[in-house]
Amino acid sequence: MIRQIYIYADTGTPIFSRKYAEVKEVDINELLKFIVPIAQNLNEGSIEHTDITRYRISYMRLGRFTNVFVSDRTSETARVEEALVNFSRHLETLNLNLPLSIEEAKVLEKISEETVSLIPVKICLVGFGGVGKTTILKLLRYEEIPLRYEPTIFGERAMLVIPVGPYKAVLFTVGGQERFMPIWDILIRGSDVIFVVTDSTPENVERTKTHVLPIVRETAKYARIIAIANKQDLAMALPAYRVEQILGLKTFGCVAIDPAYREPLLNLIKEILLS
Amino acid sequence: MEVNIYTVVLGENLLPIGLIVVKWDNKIGTVLEAKYPEDVVVSPDLTMKIYGAHVLGEEREAGFISMKVDSLNIASYFAGIEINYYVALLLKPTEDATAFEDALIEVASKIFENLGEKKYVEKLPEFYKFLEKYPVLTRDQKIASVLLDPIKSFVFKTLLEHGCVTKDQLQEDIVKNLGVKTFDINAILSSMIKSGLVVSEWVEGVPSEVVFLIRDFEIVRVPSNIKKIPANVKNAIRDFFSKYKQSPRDTAILARAITDPEIYEIIKALKTHGGMSIKEISEKTEIPEDKIFNYIGWLRRNNFIIEVEETNQSKFYLISEPMVITFYPEYQIKSVIERYNEGVLPAKQVIRYLLFLKEAYGGERM
pLDDT of B259-313, one tens digit each? Answer: 888 899 999 999 988 889 999 999 998 888 988 999 999 999 999 999 988 878 8
Q: How far is C-alpha B166 from the geometric centre of its chain's CA atoms?
A: 22
Interface of A with B (CB under 8 A): 75-76, 79, 119-120, 122, 153-157, 170, 172, 175, 179-180, 183, 186-187, 189-190
Question: Residue B305 in contact with residue B299, Cβ under 8 Å?
Answer: yes
Cβ-Cβ pairs closer than 8 A, A with B, add up to 46
Mean pLDDT of A16-36: 92
Is the bond into A99 cis (omega within 30 degrees of 0)?
A: yes
pLDDT at B350: 94
Contact B36, B18 (CB under 8 A): yes
Q: Do A180 and B56 touch (CB under 8 A)?
A: yes
For B189-204, b/e burial (b = at least 16 CB within 10 A) is bbbbeebbbbbbeebe
Question: From B26, which residue of chain A is nearest by alpha-carbon distance?
Answer: A190
Nearest beta carbon to residue A183 from set B28, B29, B56 = B56
User: pTM of the prediction?
Assistant: 0.78
CB contact under 8 A, B53 and A154: yes
Q: In 3-state terms, what secondary structure has residue B18?
A: strand
B27 with A186: Cβ contact below 8 A: no
Q: Could you read off the pLDDT of A105-157 as tens digits, one per residue? A: 999 999 999 999 999 999 999 999 999 999 999 999 999 888 788 888 889 99
Distance, in Å, from the CA atom of A264 to the CA atom of A260, rounded to the nearest integer, reads 8
Cα B110 versus chain centre, distance: 12
Q: How far is B40 from chain A (nearest CA, A)?
A: 21
What span, in angstroms and rounded, lies between the C-alpha atoms of A222 and A52? Answer: 11
Inter-chain touch B52–A119, beta carbons under 8 Å:
no
- pLDDT of the residue at B7: 25
Chain B closest-CA separation from residue A122 CA (Å):
6
Q: What is the pLDDT of residues A175-207, one digit of tens each?
A: 999 999 999 999 999 999 999 999 999 999 999
| Contacting residues of B for A119, CB less than 8 Å apart | 27
The string of pLDDT tens digits covering residues B162-189 is 999 999 999 999 999 988 777 778 878 8
Identity of the residue numbered B109: S
Mark yes or no for CB contact A183/B44 under 8 Å: no
**Min Cα–Cα distance to chain A from B56, Å:** 7
Express as a percent the part of chain B with pLDDT over 70: 94
Burial B286-301 (b: 16+ CB within 10 A, else e): ebeeeebeebbebbee
Partner-chain residue, chosen from A122, A156, A183, that has the shortest CB–CB distance to B27: A122
pLDDT of A159 > 70? The answer is yes
